[in-house]
Structure 1
Amino acid sequence: MITESSDKKELLTATEGVISQLQNLMSSINAHKINIIPYEDSWTAGQLFRRVIKSINGMSEAMKTKSKPADRGAGEKIADQKKHFLI
């Protein structure tokens, strides 16, 4: 389980696991259904999957780059992020 004290290696390993699970899920869906537009102006399951994977890969690459240590606590921004993303 990922916690505020998880290190980079744990996070990257967990991320790889999530990508694998998503790929298994998508491969189990009928190819025709992946490309159905559920309602006007919405994304198909395939488009959503592609965006999620791009986002996850981008975060993984950012975590692999050299950077200076953060000058704030690891969990300092969690409450703010929850307000924005977990409405």
Structure 2
Amino acid sequence: MEKIIKEANETLSALENTLSKFDTAQINAVPFKGSWTAGQLAEHMILSNSGFLQVINGPVTETDKPADFMVAQIRNDFLNFNVKYDSPEEIYPEDRTYNQPELLNNLKQIRDGISASIADLDLTKTCSSYELPGYGFLTRLEAVYFVIYHTQRHVHQLNKIYSELDSN
């Protein structure tokens, strides 16, 4: 339990810390053709991770598989930086001006919520409110690892965005 709390906190904090490096102008600057801005990437993470927080805290059923059954697959999929994925429409960020302090505050609230859920809930239960395309219904443990690996993927992208903008 301590391991997953630590891993989630470190990953979600890394997202906040990386976003904090951007200055006001950089948050909404397009770094290269086809890329989101740092603000859009942060908004995507807020939409995704807050959605997963709701799923984790939502209705559950008993689990008929190992609680970590999909973790390795999720890790392999999201930490393969050679593959590009299209964001589902419901978590696609708007093309607008983003406010960095507001983004950071939302990310911190989600991090706190994920930590509380890990500490307070039975992670072996299966979340029944949302079936993730390609993965099915995830256990709470798998859902937490989805948040971790998806966030790690986007921290990697955010660092690339920062490097591109910082070098210009």
TM-score by length of 2: 0.39
User: Gaps spanning 5+ residues in structure 2: where?
Assistant: 81-168
> Could you tell me how far 1:27 is from its partner in structure 2?
4.8
How big is the alpha-carbon RMSD for the aligned residues of Structure 1 and Structure 2? 2.4
> Which amino acid in 1 is paired with 2:54?
E
Q: Of 23, 30, 44, which aligns to 2:23? A: 30
Query: Residue 53 in 1 paired to residue 43 in 2?
Result: no
Q: Which 4+ runs in 1 deviate beyond 3 A?
A: 20-28
The 1:27–1:83 alpha-carbon spacing in structure 2 relative to 1, beyond 3 Å, is closer
For the residue of structure 2 that corresponds to 1:39, the secondary structure is coil
Q: Deviations over 1:42-81 (max 9, x none)?
A: 1000000000111110000001112112211111112222
User: Gaps spanning 5+ residues in structure 1: where?
Assistant: 3-9
Instruction: Number of aligned residue pairs: give it.
Output: 76
> Which amino acid in 1 is paired with 2:45?
V
Q: Select the structure that is richer in strand.
A: 2
> Which amino acid in 1 is paired with 2:59?
K
For the residue of structure 2 that corresponds to 1:46, the secondary structure is helix
